[in-house]
A and B are shown apart, each in its own frame.
Chain A
Amino acid sequence: MDINWQFIISTLPLYQKAAWITIKLGFWGTLLSLIIGLVCSIILYFRIKILKELVGIYVELSRNTPLLIQLFFLYFGLTKIGITMSETTCAIIGLAFLGGSYMSEAFRSGIEAVSKTQIESGLSIGLSQMQLIRYVILPQAFAVTMPSLAANCIFLFKETSIVGAIAIAELMHVTQDVIGMYYQTFESLFMLVVAYLIIILPLSFLLTWLERKVRYAEFGN
């Protein structure tokens, strides 16, 4: 099979632009997911009435439905009842909606792993609930939960491949276009895979490194 390098070079700027969009979406999606997940897990920890039930429903709904249909509902469905959002907003909200529940589960298991003596010691030296969360529970929970947070982060970056379905010019969408226009299937797919490797491999290494760093904070090691 001959690879048309000329073609690859000529479409390079196109892919570069698309890769940035993928990175941007992945970044904002992950960041918002982390915030949602943290808030949800704190709500679950304090067992705040009503809100706790809402978080439970949200987590089950978001974990048990595919992102594609969540996006279609947000983008094509909600606009019919008067809620219209741009594609990018929609994509980021969709990613955050999906990721939030995964992050929340990760944080929750981390918080559960903090031993009871830690919490009781904290309370007995007179920390308030907020201080307890801030200085005792979260730093330890974070260390335990880091591997699953990292896995979720990579998962969300990969899920950005789906938002192309609502007309965002990210890698997947651009590849589809290029295949349709120029018929250089092999080269387009090659570029696509390389682009994902360039984005996800360094991210994966970075997260593994971070994981090791954070583990120093783990209690009892």
Chain B
Amino acid sequence: MQNLGINVLFEGTTLQRLFEGLMMTAGIAFISIIIGSFLGIGMGLLRTSKSGIVQFICRFYLEVFRIIPILVWLFIVYFGVTNALDIHLDGEIVAVIVFSLWGAAEMGDIVRGALESLPKHQIESGKAIGLSFWGLYRYVLIPQAVRRMLPGAINLSTRMVKTTSLVVMIGVIDVIKVGQQIIERSVIKVPTASFWVYGLIFILYFIICYPLSKLSKKLEAKWEN
């Protein structure tokens, strides 16, 4: 039988290795999203503060991440910070640090938007019935804000999952790196390997991100009314 290129995907442990690579990618994304969300909520609360200096610092922090590409941040931490402090950090750790900080900045903006979009009378009524600061946030503002920020937060998560593809550039063995190894191994036997392997990784990312973005759209439509 003629050797079809697609068979390269089903030889030996190829699929299993790709899956392990994918787990690395997903793991980095997952941990970063969790840390980023927690930091982001704090960030969002800070951004509703009335102090000009606090607002300026938070805004500056956000803009710094918006203006400089994430890949540059990965490089700065991976090559620059480690060099300056004379320490060694694994690519995985660097990725988690950068994605968490970036996630915190973006999540902070989403939380702030949600809190500010709440009608003013909610805060005032809360205060009028004598809730403390924490009570106000705990029982009145946060439950309402969560609904409004969920679509944005899920969207951010898909963006973070997509951006984890960049970790291959700082030497993490993620799904793309595994794909490259497979292609290099089989390139003589199966010249079309790169078409199939990259095609598969393309589809794998799609399978992860598509349900998330659909969910976010659905929630948005549901809560708009």
A residues whose Cβ falls under 8 Å from a Cβ of B = 1, 60-61, 63-70, 72-73, 76-81, 154, 158-159, 161-162, 165, 172, 175-176, 179, 185-186, 189, 192-193, 196-197, 200-201, 204
Contacts and interface: CB of A to CB of B under 8 A. Distances in A.
A72 B162 CA distance: 14
Given A68-B176, A77-B198, A186-B83, A196 B213 contact: no
B128 interface: no
A185 B83 contact: yes
Contacts of B60: none
Given A67-B162, A69-B202, A196-B69, 16 more contacts: A60-B210, A63-B213, A64-B206, A66-B205, A69-B205, A72-B194, A79-B194, A154-B66, A154-B67, A161-B69, A161-B71, A161-B72, A162-B166, A176-B75, A185-B83, A189-B76
A190 to B, nearest CB: 8
Nearest to B168: A68
Contacts of A72: 176, 194, 198, 201
B165 A80 contact: no
Nearest to A179: B79
Q: Mostly helix, strand, loop or mixed at chain B's interface?
A: helix
Contacts of A77: 194-196, 198-199
A170 to B, nearest CB: 11
How many B residues touch the partner, as a band?
35 or more
A189 B80 contact: yes
B220 to A, nearest CB: 11
Interface string B1-19: 0000100000000000000
Nearest to A74: B198
A196 B72 contact: yes
B68 interface: yes
A85 to B, nearest CB: 14
A175 B74 CA distance: 13
Contacts of B183: 76
Interface of B: 5, 66-72, 75-76, 79-80, 83-84, 158, 162-166, 168-169, 176, 183, 191-196, 198-199, 201-202, 205-206, 209-210, 213
B213 A76 contact: no
A81 B190 CA distance: 12
Nearest to A162: B71
Q: Mostly helix, strand, loop or mixed at chain A's interface?
A: helix
B163 A66 contact: yes
Contacts of A69: 165, 176, 198, 201-202, 205
- Of B70, B183, B195, chain A has the most CB atoms within 10 Å of the CB of B195
A56 B168 CA distance: 30
B67 A204 contact: yes
B210 A172 contact: no
Contact of A65 (B162, B164, B191, B196): B162
Nearest to A183: B83
A66 B72 contact: no
20 contacts: A1-B84, A61-B206, A63-B213, A65-B205, A67-B162, A69-B165, A69-B198, A72-B198, A77-B195, A154-B67, A162-B69, A172-B72, A172-B75, A175-B75, A179-B79, A185-B79, A193-B76, A196-B72, A197-B67, A200-B67
Contacts of A186: 80, 83-84
A18 B207 CA distance: 35
A79 B187 CA distance: 13
A79 to B, nearest CB: 8
A65 B69 CA distance: 18
B75 A189 contact: yes
A167 to B, nearest CB: 13
A175 to B, nearest CB: 7
B169 A165 contact: yes
Contacts of A1: 84
B176 A64 contact: no
